[in-house]
């Protein structure tokens, strides 16, 4: 009965075991996972756009092959995550509908423009670097299908991060104009990357409950701090400065301190009022409409096969 199922759920969480699709789970646990995993899937799919814009303008065959592989990986991540969401009873077509009608969110970070090829490098280094900090702990998330999907996603993300850093190293060893492009891209992406981790803990309505359920393993601020601590020495090795005059080592805390984050900007971008929100959704909506015939053909094919197999 339900009390017994609830006790079993709580025991599994307390023992740090995984909850699987067949297991009983509280409705709120299911709903919070659908919310987070769908949002994560949507982010991967929308995240193909900012860099996808550079595929036709990559400066060499090598850079194009790397970028193509990376953007295809993101499509794959979206698909694993939509599948994980389906194990919770969500319907994939419904999730897409909610994305294109603005009823489900995707990461704020993908609403900023990519103005030069240096942005491809900075997205790899900072955005994918932030994604790794946030996602490695999710490999131990309490929901089995989500945790398992994250293992492969994190391996691919670390390739994305490395290709970005290597691209920036190459540009920093190039012309003065290339170095200026890198500096400009770092200046534009630094603060939005810190915002990716979500609102500060005191204003994060979901963190406490998600941590109690072990969906999340660390708070938003803890992960943001970890990212800053990892990234500052990388910026030094690259020879760029980060656009924050308050950034300095705090020996007492054993962490870098950073300046205030513009939380109004994050809320604006989440609400739909960032530099590229309208364009991202319009592009996704058009792709969905243009793919209609593919979905219809695939369904007709599947129905024909099923009918044949039934004979």
Residues that bind ligand ACO (CB under 6 A): 35-36, 39-40, 43-44, 47, 105, 107-108, 128, 131, 134, 195-199, 204-207, 210, 216, 220, 270
- Work out how close the CB of 102 gets to ligand ACO at its nearest, in angstroms, rounded to a whole number: 12
From CA 218, how far away is CA 37, in angstroms rounded? 17
- Work out how close the CB of 203 gets to ligand ACO at its nearest, in angstroms, rounded to a whole number: 8
- Work out how close the CB of 77 gets to ligand ACO at its nearest, in angstroms, rounded to a whole number: 7
Between 86 and 178, name the residue whose CB sits nearer to ligand ACO: 86
- Work out how close the CB of 161 gets to ligand ACO at its nearest, in angstroms, rounded to a whole number: 10
What element of type H or E holds 250? strand 248-250
Between 63 and 216, name the residue whose CB sits nearer to ligand ACO: 216
From CA 192, how far away is CA 182, in angstroms rounded? 16
Alpha-carbon distances, residue 110 vs 51, 202, 277 (angstroms): 10, 25, 8
248 DSSP assignment: E
- Work out how close the CB of 123 gets to ligand ACO at its nearest, in angstroms, rounded to a whole number: 9
Between 107 and 181, name the residue whose CB sits nearer to ligand ACO: 107
Between 109 and 240, name the residue whose CB sits nearer to ligand ACO: 109
From CA 184, how far away is CA 118, in angstroms rounded? 9
Between 121 and 198, name the residue whose CB sits nearer to ligand ACO: 198
Residue environment code for 293-306, b if the CB has 16+ CB neighbours within 10 A, otherwise e: eeeeeeeeeeeeee
Q: Which residues contact 265 (CB under 8 A, 6 or more apart)?
A: 191, 192, 195
From CA 213, how far away is CA 36, in angstroms rounded? 13
- Work out how close the CB of 43 gets to ligand ACO at its nearest, in angstroms, rounded to a whole number: 4
Residue 82 structure tokens: 């939509």
Between 116 and 135, name the residue whose CB sits nearer to ligand ACO: 135
Long-range pairs for 253-257 at CB < 8 Å and ≥24 separation?
255/225, 255/228, 255/229, 256/225, 256/228, 256/229, 256/232
How many Cβ atoms sit within 10 Å of the Cβ of residue 273? 12
- Work out how close the CB of 249 gets to ligand ACO at its nearest, in angstroms, rounded to a whole number: 26
Between 44 and 244, name the residue whose CB sits nearer to ligand ACO: 44
Residue 284, phi then psi, degrees to nearest 5:
-65, -40
Alpha-carbon distances, residue 143 vs 28, 112, 302 (angstroms): 13, 31, 31
């Amino acid at each position: 009965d339900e009390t017994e199922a609830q006790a079993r759920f709580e025991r599994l969480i307390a023992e740090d075991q995984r909850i699987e699709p067949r297991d009983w789970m509280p409705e709120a646990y299911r709903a919070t996972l659908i919310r987070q995993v769908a949002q994560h899937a949507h982010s991967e799919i929308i995240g193909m756009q900012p860099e996808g814009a550079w595929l036709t303008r990559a400066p060499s065959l090598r850079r194009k092959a790397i970028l193509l592989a990376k953007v295809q990986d993101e499509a794959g991540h979206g698909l694993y995550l939509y599948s994980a969401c389906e194990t919770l009873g969500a319907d994939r077509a419904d999730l897409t509908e909610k994305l294109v009608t603005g009823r489900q969110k995707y990461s704020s970070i993908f609403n900023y423009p990519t103005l030069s090829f240096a942005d491809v490098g900075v997205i790899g280094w900072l955005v994918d670097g932030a994604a790794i900090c946030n996602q490695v702990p999710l490999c131990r998330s309490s929901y089995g299908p989500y945790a398992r999907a994250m293992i492969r996603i994190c391996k691919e993300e670390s390739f994305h991060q490395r290709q970005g850093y290597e691209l920036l190293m190459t540009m920093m060893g190039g012309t003065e104009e290339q170095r200026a492009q890198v500096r400009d891209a770092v200046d534009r992406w630094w603060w939005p990357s810190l915002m990716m981790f979500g609102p500060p803990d005191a204003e994060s309505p979901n963190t406490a409950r998600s941590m109690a359920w072990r969906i999340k393993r660390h708070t938003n601020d803890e992960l943001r701090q970890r990212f800053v601590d990892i990234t500052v020495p990388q910026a030094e090795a690259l020879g760029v400065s980060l656009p924050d005059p308050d950034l300095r080592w705090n020996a007492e805390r054993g962490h870098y301190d950073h300046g205030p984050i513009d939380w109004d900007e994050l809320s604006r971008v989440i609400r739909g009022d960032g530099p590229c929100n309208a364009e991202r959704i319009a592009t996704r909506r058009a792709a969905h409409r243009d793919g209609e015939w593919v979905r219809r053909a695939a369904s007709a094919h599947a129905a024909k096969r099923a009918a044949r197999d039934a004979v």
